[in-house]
A and B are shown apart, each in its own frame.
Chain A
Amino acid sequence: MQANMNSGILRRYRWKELGLLIIPFLILMLEMVQLAIAQFFQTQTTTNSQHPIPISTAILPSIRDLVPVPVFGLIVALILVNLLLSIFFPKADQLLLPLVGLMSGIGVLMALRLGPDVGDSLLGTRQLVWVILGLILCMATVFGLRNMNWLKRYKYTWALLGIFLVALTIINALRVKNLNSPTHDQLNFGPLNLQPSELLKIFIVIFFAAYLSENRDVLTEGNLRIGPLRLPPLRTLGPILLMLAISLLLFLVIRELGLALLIYGIFLSMIYLGSGKLSYVIGGLLLFIALGFIGFKLFGYVQARFAVLSLDVVNWQNWSQPTQDFARNGALQVVQGLIALANGGVLGAGFGLGHTGTFVPVAQSDMVFTALGEEFGLAGLFAIIGIYLLIIYRGFRIAIEASDEFNQLLAAGLTSIFAIQTFIIIAGNMKFLPLTGIPLPFLSYGGSSIIANFIIIGILLRISYNTAMEREGLA
């Protein structure tokens, strides 16, 4: 009996996942060694600047000095997750964990590397703790979501909870009366800084998915005609539009343009996925342009954000005095980020050998893409974007295979969060859209974002497991 069970577990073991984790582990250990060498190299050159010693591999630190503890902690955590999933959820998707594990590992290493430069030597350790906490919560989500209908049935509760969290934040922000500080959208619980907006986006997707899956019939009919556009009856759309309006207003109050953009993007993609009608999306985009134009005219800070886009960075030698002043103040972050990217070139400066942390403001979270660009180069950035594409592909694949409408919309909506968020922040870093303060999934420093992303991965894993189990029942 015992032997039988063991061989069963071995047979069902997630070998594919374990096999795919090997190269990420190698990459992480390689980068840890490189980081240690780079830091050693820098201390050598600064302490012996009077008498430069010949630099060669002969003076490299011994193996004992390279203690890659953070990386080993992460590797052990990932193997444990692989083991747990193999025992309890052998049929869940096997590609997500390696992809996400590599991304968050690079995130931890980047925080470890940028920490001393931004004046917080514990940054990397804290990021590692967040990632491990995220993995634990991801497992808790996979184990805890026994019944998907539970998410569906209490949709209004989730929506209200999300709005309540953000309303708390706003009250907090108004009390402090400092809307320009970068952390005004955080809630402080003792040592914890939480960003409720990260959780709000999950709640919103659950609500949209539940509501759209219930009212799909009415939405696809579309009996309200305005010219060539066929709109759904407003009464059916009411709760969704209300939810959308509330969250957009909240973000305009706390001046989070990026989040407003993200929520609206999720709304459009989910409406399209739910109804399959392009006309809704076109109508929504037109409305967005109109609203955006009004916002641009009304709010000064929106104009300030957009002013960066008109900066001609290539032609910097011919800048007039006001342009130069603008580049030193309002556009500082973006301009410095572009310099970092240009400094990286094709192959990059090498991990631990760039200087992004010292000259780009907030390089560890908002501008982490430029830090990656400087040290890993264009080749590294392409690979990172490739990994994001694979994560998104996998999410949509889980959505296509899911058994019922709610699960399909939920998986697709959660995946669109990754897609839209990554696009907005990378475009902001590269002066393609106004820069906004939303984190790059898994790579930016920040506990709330890491945890929210891992919860999303947990939900996706559970949906893929449920689908596979129903398949089994069919066979």
Chain B
Amino acid sequence: MTLDVFLFILRLLFIVLLYLFLMQVVIAITRDLRKTATASDNSTNQAPPVVGHLIVVDSGPSTILPGTRFDLSPQTTIGRGPTNSIQLVDNFISSEHTRLWFRNGLWYVQDAGSTNGTYVNSQPAREALAARFGDIIQVGFIRFKLAQ
């Protein structure tokens, strides 16, 4: 076998391997897409479960009535913007104010970079803070009680 032929075979092998790799990645992607598609099918069939409530204790300067209940899904955002799961129209609430999530039986509260801050039992929640049912969560100047 002459060297030219050998090098030509190497070259062909290289190109075949390159396209095999591309195919492998594409297969991995389609499998991934199918998995997320079925997962989202399952999740759209049932609305996100309500795993807690926020009850307004002190409405501060806002017009929200004390005693108003807000449903909490396992991932909840609070803010003035329309994309939040709880939209509070108040001048002291930032467009993205607070994030709450439920993991392993505990609630976690974290400020989403707001101007007036988020507090759990008067402690500023710049980093994620754990919260239990019964704790007081203050968003801007509105105070909520975390309830089941």
Contacts and interface: CB of A to CB of B under 8 A. Distances in A.
Contact of A30 (B6, B17, B77, B101): B17
B52 interface: no
A30 B14 contact: yes
B21 A23 contact: yes
A282 interface: no
A376 B10 CA distance: 11
B47 interface: no
A34 B10 contact: yes
B37 to A, nearest CB: 13
B74 A474 contact: yes
A27 B10 CA distance: 10
B21 A27 contact: yes
Interface stretch (A114-122, A246-254, A305-313, A382-390): A382-390
Nearest to B4: A55
A20 B21 CA distance: 7
Given A152-B113, A473-B102, A474-B75, A26 B11 contact: no
B21 A214 contact: no
A258 interface: no
Interface stretch (B23-31, B58-66, B131-139): B23-31
Interface in A143-169: 147, 149, 152-153
Given A95-B25, A474-B75, A33 B3 contact: no
Interface in A1-51: 16, 19-20, 23-24, 26-27, 30-31, 33-34, 37-38, 41
Nearest to B127: A147
Contacts of B103: 472-473
A55 B2 contact: yes
Contact of A20 (B1, B14, B28, B81): B28
A68 interface: no
Contacts of A214: 95-96, 113
Q: On chain A, which size bracket covers the interface?
A: 35 or more
A99 interface: yes
B140 to A, nearest CB: 16
Interface residues of chain A: helix, strand, loop or mixed (majority): helix
A195 B13 CA distance: 37
Contacts of B82: 217
Contact of A38 (B7, B18, B21, B99): B7
Interface string B97-140: 00101110000000011000000000000010000000000000
Contacts of A34: 7, 10-11, 14
A57 interface: yes
A151 to B, nearest CB: 11
A379 interface: yes
B81 A216 contact: yes
Given A20-B24, A98-B25, A41 B3 contact: yes
A361 interface: no
A317 interface: no
Taking each of B1, B2, B21, which has the highest tally of chain A beta carbons within 10 Å of its own beta carbon?
A: B21
Given A20-B24, A216-B95, A380 B8 contact: no
A474 B100 CA distance: 11
A95 B22 contact: no
B48 to A, nearest CB: 8
Contacts of A149: 112-113
Interface string A361-380: 00000000000000011011
A383 B15 contact: yes
A347 interface: yes
B28 to A, nearest CB: 6
A350 B11 contact: yes
A23 B17 contact: yes
B50 to A, nearest CB: 13
B29 to A, nearest CB: 7
A393 B83 CA distance: 25
Contacts of B28: 16, 20, 94-95
A12 to B, nearest CB: 16
B15 A379 contact: yes
Interface string A381-416: 001001100100110000000011100000000000
Q: Which 5 residue pairs across A and B have the least CB separation, nearest first?
A: A473-B103, A383-B18, A23-B21, A55-B3, A34-B10
Interface of A: 16, 19-20, 23-24, 26-27, 30-31, 33-34, 37-38, 41, 55-57, 60, 94-95, 98-99, 102, 147, 149, 152-153, 213-214, 216-217, 347-348, 350-351, 353, 376-377, 379-380, 383, 386-387, 390, 393-394, 403-405, 470, 472-474
Given A23-B21, A213-B96, A472-B103, 4 more contacts: A41-B3, A149-B113, A347-B15, A351-B11
20 contacts: A20-B25, A27-B14, A33-B10, A37-B3, A38-B7, A55-B3, A57-B1, A95-B29, A98-B25, A149-B113, A214-B95, A214-B96, A216-B81, A347-B15, A350-B8, A383-B19, A390-B25, A404-B99, A470-B75, A473-B75
